[in-house]
């Protein structure tokens, strides 16, 4: 075999070996920006642009990545994607992350070449109903029509829930969510059932949002979270600890407003988080003040929640399950230590 052919084969082998192990961190640093794919739906959760400003839980998460890697939350380019192309765009390296939060389940987690970073929002199927109906719980829907998107998982889950709890409500499938909301407005059905993220958006679009309530019952679990592609452990660690640091900061009372003041804190946990004591950034290829840049740039988890979907926004979603574990919710993160 001629030496040239051998040399070529060797180079090909090296390239192939290298291609398997992507180094997103190096790519992002060299480019000077994080590329985040977004479909824009649903509002408040994915990244959507209003007058050139991108907002949403996912948008702020992407800004957080830019803050920890590039020390500047504005170094993000949002790339609009169709829902069907977002996975291939991520897997193929067109984007570094998604600003969409995807539903974390066995199929999504294992069959798409993705890794879920964690849960940014615990969603689940609930009920939207008129305040005037005076419903206290889903039990009061007995004998009443409840609209749901036909053919969606929500339809089967709703029927199963009523069946399992002996509630004789009438499941009324509508061909689209627009049709379901139309039927709800027209009074054809007393309630509309879908995931909380969808219901909060539907309510915000109604003529008089405040006249409608979300019932307390949540009948399914749909954890929503950021995803990264597989086979890049470093980038996965960065993505994971960006999310965890947002939660840790809330737990420790470090906010976007007080983060500079907190640099002088006596609390060892705060000092570790902000890089005043020890260097944890080095573990993920970043500077020791990576989490300071994060909180300074986008705030802690509560700051992000309140800004995008909280009580002061049109979506008015209570923290519920998304409260910290220490305050009655289940949002929990390991410590920066």
Partner 1 sequence: MRRLALIIWRLALIGALVACFASAAMAATTLETVRARGKLLCGAADPLPGFAQENKDGRWSGFDVDFCRAVAAAVFGSPDKVDFIPLTGTSRFALLQTGAIDLLARDAAWTMRRDAGYGASYVGASFFDGQGFLVHQSLNVVSAYELNKLRVCVLDGGDEVLNLRDFFFQNQAAYSEVLYEDRQDLAVAYEAGLCDAVSANVSWLYAMKRQLPDAAQHLILPERISKDSFGPVVRDGDDQWLNIVKWTLFTLIDAEEAGITADNIGSLAAAKTPTIRRMLGLEGRFGGALGLSPDFMKNIIAGVGNYGEIFDRNFGPNTGVPMLRGQNALWTRGGLLFAPPVE
Instruction: Catalog residues that contact partner 1 under the rule CB under 8 A.
Output: 1, 3, 6-7, 9-10, 13-14, 16-17, 103-107, 109-111, 115-116, 119, 122, 153, 156, 160, 164, 220-223, 230-231, 233, 236-237, 240-241, 244, 251, 268, 280, 283-284, 321, 325-326, 330, 332, 334-337
In the complex, what is the shortest distance from the CB of residue 260 to partner 1, in angstroms, rounded to a whole number? 22
In the complex, what is the shortest distance from the CB of residue 221 to partner 1, in angstroms, rounded to a whole number? 6
Q: Which is nearer to partner 1, 14 or 26 (CB)?
A: 14
In the complex, what is the shortest distance from the CB of residue 98 to partner 1, in angstroms, rounded to a whole number? 17
Q: Which is nearer to partner 1, 314 or 328 (CB)?
A: 328
Q: Which is nearer to partner 1, 290 or 305 (CB)?
A: 290
In the complex, what is the shortest distance from the CB of residue 140 to partner 1, in angstroms, rounded to a whole number? 21
Q: Which is nearer to partner 1, 40 or 126 (CB)?
A: 126
- List Cβ neighbours of 122 (8 Å cut-off, separation of 6 or more): 221, 222, 223, 224, 320, 321, 322, 329, 330, 331
Decide if 279 contacts 158 (C-beta within 8 A). no
Cα–Cα distance measured from residue 30 to residue 25, given in angstroms and rounded to the nearest whole number:
9
In the complex, what is the shortest distance from the CB of residue 223 to partner 1, in angstroms, rounded to a whole number? 5
Q: What are phi and psi of 55, to 5 degrees?
A: -135, 170
Cα–Cα distance measured from residue 82 to residue 37, given in angstroms and rounded to the nearest whole number:
9
Q: Which is nearer to partner 1, 9 or 26 (CB)?
A: 9
Residue 165, both tokens: 């709890």
In the complex, what is the shortest distance from the CB of residue 332 to partner 1, in angstroms, rounded to a whole number? 6
Q: Which is nearer to partner 1, 209 or 329 (CB)?
A: 329
Cα–Cα distance measured from residue 110 to residue 45, given in angstroms and rounded to the nearest whole number:
23
């Amino acid at each position: 075999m001629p030496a040239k052919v051998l040399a070529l084969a060797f180079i090909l082998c090296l390239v192939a070996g290298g291609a398997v192990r992507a180094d997103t961190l190096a790519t992002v640093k060299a480019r000077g920006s994080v590329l985040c794919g977004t479909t824009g739906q649903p509002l408040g959760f994915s990244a959507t642009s209003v007058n050139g400003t991108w907002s949403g839980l996912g948008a702020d998460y992407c800004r957080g990545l830019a803050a920890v890697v590039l020390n500047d939350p504005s170094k993000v380019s949002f790339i609009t994607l169709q829902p069907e192309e977002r996975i291939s765009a991520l897997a193929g390296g067109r984007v570094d992350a998604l600003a969409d939060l995807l539903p974390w389940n066995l199929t999504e987690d294992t069959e798409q070449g993705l890794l879920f970073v964690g849960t940014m929002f615990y969603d689940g199927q609930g009920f939207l109903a008129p305040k005037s109906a005076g419903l206290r719980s889903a039990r009061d829907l007995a004998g009443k029509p409840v609209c749901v998107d036909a053919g969606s998982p929500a339809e089967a889950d709703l029927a199963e829930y009523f069946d399992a709890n002996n509630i004789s409500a009438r499941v009324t499938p509508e061909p689209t969510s627009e049709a379901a909301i139309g039927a709800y407005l027209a009074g054809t059905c007393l309630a509309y059932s879908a995931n909380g993220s969808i219901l909060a958006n539907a309510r915000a679009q109604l003529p008089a949002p405040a006249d409608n309530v979300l019932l307390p019952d949540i009948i399914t679990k749909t954890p929503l979270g950021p995803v990264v592609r597989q086979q890049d452990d470093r980038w996965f660690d960065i993505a994971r600890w960006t999310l965890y640091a947002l939660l840790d900061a809330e737990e420790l009372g470090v906010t976007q407003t007080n983060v500079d003041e907190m640099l002088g804190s006596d609390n060892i946990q705060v000092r570790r988080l902000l890089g005043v004591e020890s260097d944890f950034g080095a573990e993920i290829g970043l500077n020791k003040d990576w989490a300071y840049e994060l909180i300074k740039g986008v705030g802690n988890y509560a700051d992000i929640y309140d800004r995008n979907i909280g009580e002061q926004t049109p979506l008015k979603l209570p923290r519920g399950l998304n409260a910290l574990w220490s305050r009655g919710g289940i949002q929990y993160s390991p410590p920066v230590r």
